[in-house]
Chain A
Amino acid sequence: MTKEAEHAIAVETLTKLYGDLTAVNDISFTVRQGEVFAFLGPNGAGKTTTVEIIETIRTPTSGKVSLLGMDVTKKKHDIVRRIGVLPQGFSSFDRITVRETLQYYARLFGCGNTDIDGLIELANLQDKTNEQFKNLSGGLKQRLGIAIALVNNPDVVFLDEPTTGLDPRARRQVWDVLLGLRKKGKTVFLTTHYIEEAELLADTVAIIDKGSIVAIGSPAELIESNADYLVLKLQSVDESVFELVRKTGFEPVRTDPHNITVQVGGPDDIRTILVAIKDAGALFLSLDVCKPNLEEVFLKLTGAALRDGCAEEVIS
């Protein structure tokens, strides 16, 4: 078996320039068959450009991209039959119903035996089969888009920002559909700027920033390799606790009037803080020690927090 065939997607030294702007800068990565791979990054990081090059919509400036062992610049005709795509900002024919839209795309692929009802059920659209596209809410449109991406029973599914612009409830409903895909063992390439989405759904997360991949691995690996500290969370109504922690040489952060978080190196640091509080006779209601999450890793790696897809510089 060739190297490419082991991987659903193999990207080698891919670069994409738009005039003077470098949208994607010499990136390399692979996606294993059957895994959910998430491209995580702020708007303008190069996520969509990369994914559209793999989907054969855009041409690379340099580098090599293969999908299921086929060169994306040469085998468009074969590739499109084996992928399913939910493009960013997916839209369809306004006055065509959910069922008719699925039938239309199934016909384009020549898939006469597509289980339209099964797709409708997977996307949880049973109540909306005769609704015209223009009357669907944002979440329903995205779920229909995902169902359309599956009409040809593709080997690789691309979902470009499937939950952008959706309210939390609609977002969870889309996630349920994506978890269903994961159970089916599909290779899924997901781009997102929601950290919790990547953390919840992905086997592998690649963090992309300003056209370059800054870290890649499973969410646990990313946390493990990039967060060599623990987070101590203290709940206390005692005003003096904050000052006591500071005096021990750590840098406490007040997250709300009664909660303090402190970055610590290990159990010895925790003991030092707790002893200082006890010796001063101060009180706390609860304490919690946890590993940092992906958001904190993202913050550390890119120096920016993600809010609605926009990277916000963190003032330290």
Chain B
Amino acid sequence: MSPRVIAANLIVSIKSFYRETTAVFFRIAFPVLLILVFGTIFMNQDNVRFDFFVQDLDQTDMSAELIRTLDLSENFTIIPVDPALDASQYAKDNKLNLVVVIPKGYKHSLIRRMTRNDLDDPVTVTYIYDPSSTAVDTKMQILNVVFAEINQTISDTPAFITSEKSSILDRDYRFIDFFVPGIIAMTVMTASLLGAVNVNAELRQKGVIKKLSTTPITHTDWILSNVLYQVLLSVISTASILLVSYTVFNVRLQLNLWLPIFVVLDVFAFVGIGMILTRVAKEAESAAAAANAIMFPMMFLSGTFFPVEMMPGFLQTFSRILPLYYVNEGLRASMIFTDNMLAMNYAVIVGIFAAIMFVLGLITTKWEEE
């Protein structure tokens, strides 16, 4: 290993990087933009409001009172539907995912229940809904909760089971706090993998590697230079992501030694995979395509953008064989839960994987021609 050669490579890599604006954009600005866009979306999700279409066929003071109650629940913006219209047709024509119909006779039934305690005359509120809509289930669940509360109030008995929230965390965390570690892990992965593929496949195709193989530079020098360069850029992009996250979204993440450990392991693992791909794929283009084929499932299935628990069981099992899952979980264990034991467990798993990939990458990287 020659520090002089590694330094020479680093100088060339860094100059090449900052002289190429697209590289700077994808490496630094793109993850920052992701944080800004998704952060803004998630910030609003904390107090999201649904448009809520109600058709009041009863048109009485009591049915109006029910609508007012719904309006108070904060989650809904009430939009009345003309009682003369056919609600199903109206929903279809306007592509609405839910119209709630308060039946005629609502007041009459309510009075019977209140004054004579007549249990035989319940009221049925109809949900006219579009089952293909993803948001409709949430709306109906919220409605059911509101109706359950109303039912309980009418029956005038105190609730038997009540609930209270007790967070396992010291402070309240929002979705953005979950999201930031995922973006750090993903950015380091994509940059390391594509960086290794680009450097090796492109330079090999151009003949630069052939020229280098007639100089005293060794494989170890070359690969260590690439890894150091990727670590350096990962530190810069991680710092930019954190800076934006703290200043714009006021995240409450803990920064400790685990962050650099996971970043470095992430780099080694994916530079290793990149080197293997470069060897397997003959052309630079096919190596890049193979890198994408690895990256995309990893991005979406290892809990970068949303928790793995939201996925079906078999996908959850699958996600547990993805190395990025352990980087994500490890970063969250350290940055959100400050659980050192858990972080260490994940670091060991990622470390073993990184070591295997990197050694395989070293073995498969070959400069000599057949």
Contact A96-B15, Cβ < 8 Å, known A52-B369, A81-B216: yes
A108 & B19 in contact (Cβ 8 Å cutoff): no
CA distance A57 to B209 in the complex (A): 11
List the A side residues contacting B214 at CB < 8 Å: 55-57, 80, 83, 85, 87
Q: Inside 8 A of A88's CB, which chain B residues have their CB?
A: 207
Is A107 an interface residue, CB under 8 A from the partner?
yes
User: What residues of chain A lie closer than 8 Å to B368, measured between beta carbons?
Assistant: 56-59
A57 touches B207 (CB 8 A): no
Q: Contact size class for A? A: 20 to 34
Among A57, A96, A107, contact of B5 (Cβ-Cβ < 8 Å): A107
Tell me whether A104 and B12 are in contact (CB under 8 A).
Answer: yes
**B213 and A105: CB pair below 8 A?**
no
Q: Are B369 and A57 in contact (CB-based, < 8 A)?
A: yes
Contacts A18-B370, A104-B8, A104-B11 given; indicate if A95 touches B20 (C-beta within 8 A). Answer: yes
In the complex with contacts A91-B207, A107-B4, A100-B15 CB distance below 8 A:
yes
When the two chains form the complex, which single residue of B12, B211, B213 contacts A96, counting CB atoms closer than 8 Å?
B12
Q: In the bound complex, what is the Cα–Cα distance between A87 and B217 (angstroms)?
A: 16
**Which interface residue of B206, B211, B369 has the most chain A CB atoms within 10 A?**
B211
| B134 lies within 8 A of chain A by Cβ | no
**CB distance A92 to B208 under 8 Å?**
yes
Could you say which residues of chain B place their CB within 8 Å of the CB of A284? Answer: none
Given A57-B368, A100-B12, answer yes or no on A91-B206 (Cβ-Cβ < 8 Å). yes
Which residues of B1-48 have CB atoms within 8 Å of chain A's CB atoms? 2, 4-5, 7-8, 11-12, 15-16, 19-20
In contact, B4 and A91 (Cβ under 8 angstroms): no
Q: How many residues of B contact A (CB 8 A)?
A: 26
> Which A86-124 residues have C-beta < 8 A from chain B?
87-96, 100, 104-105, 107-110
Q: Which of A50-85 contact B (CB under 8 A)?
A: 52, 55-59, 77, 80-81, 83, 85
Is B215 a contact of A105 with CB atoms below 8 Å? yes
B11 and chain A: residue at smallest CB distance:
A104
Q: Which residues of B in the span 174-223 have a Cβ within 8 Å of any Cβ on A?
A: 206-208, 210-217
A80 to B216, CA, bound (A): 6
Chain B's closest residue to A108 (CB) is: B215
Write the chain B residue with the least CB distance to A151: B215
Report the bound CA distance from A83 to B216 in whole Å: 11
CB distance from A106 to the nearest CB of B (A): 9
A108 CA to B8 CA, complexed, in Å: 7
Q: Which residues of A have CB within 8 Å of B206?
A: 91
Q: What 14 additional pairs, Cβ within 8 angstroms, besides A107-B8, A148-B211?
A: A57-B213, A57-B369, A59-B368, A87-B207, A87-B210, A87-B211, A87-B214, A93-B12, A95-B15, A95-B19, A96-B12, A104-B12, A109-B215, A110-B4
**Could you list which residues of chain B lie within 8 angstroms of chain A, going by C-beta atoms?**
2, 4-5, 7-8, 11-12, 15-16, 19-20, 206-208, 210-217, 367-370
